[in-house]
Structure 1
């Protein structure tokens, strides 16, 4: 059985680089996209995406809009989305979850917390 893939969607290469380094060290396979649209293409073409780590603040299409698009797509609607955001204000977590995210993690990312959430949604 192919390994489950983690798709990282973030408009900042440094965030992608850091997340990939951490996750690969823990034995996960990762793919990445610099925009939501690029991420959609990856999900359309790849059956093995187990979870999406979605940056919520991106130009063009933000994470809230992207989750909304995913939830309307037969191919993408069941893929859990972990909202990754630098916004850690009161109400942000609730806003992400009510938009359809399965979980929420704020930047700077607590790696242990991230791994717990990934395990929760991919097993």
Structure 2
């Protein structure tokens, strides 16, 4: 089954690199650069299987976005993997506490990311 992944990152270069890598592995990819837009996309597209959420974004960060997703009944079941350049143990815990299912630090280890995505199915 081809999973559909939503990549949310305020840096288009990160989206581009991830999109290329994940598409080559057979995933369908959607992307956006703002958390608010991601929430709207999730509400419109019920085929999204996993969200890769950058935690450090302007306007609304990933922590707030995940909390909104978890508190919105129509999309609360969608798994979120936190993606962040902050790699301290407390950052991982903060992501999980916000409602993320998993956590991957930047620079992204693709094998670790694929394992995280596959674990969620």
**TM-score range relative to shorter protein:** over 0.9
| Counterpart Cα distance in 1 of 2:105 and 2:49 | 20
Ranges in structure 2 where 5+ consecutive residues have no aligned partner: none
The answer to whether the aligner puts 1:30 opposite 2:29 as a matched pair is: yes
3-state SS of 2:53 partner: strand
| Counterpart Cα distance in 1 of 2:74 and 2:19 | 24
Cα deviation for residue 4 of structure 1 reads 2.9
Ranges in structure 1 where 5+ consecutive residues have no aligned partner: none
Match of 1:57 in 2: 56
Match of 1:67 in 2: 66
Runs of 4+ in 1 over 3 A off after TM superposition: none
Match of 1:48 in 2: 47
TM value normalised by structure 1: 0.95
Query: How many matched pairs?
Result: 121
Cα-to-partner distance string for 1:18-37 (whole Å, 9 max, x where unaligned)? 11011000000000011011
The 5 A counterparts of 1:90-105 are 90-105=89-104
Cα deviation for residue 90 of structure 1 reads 2.9
Cα deviation for residue 76 of structure 1 reads 1.3
TM value normalised by structure 2: 0.97
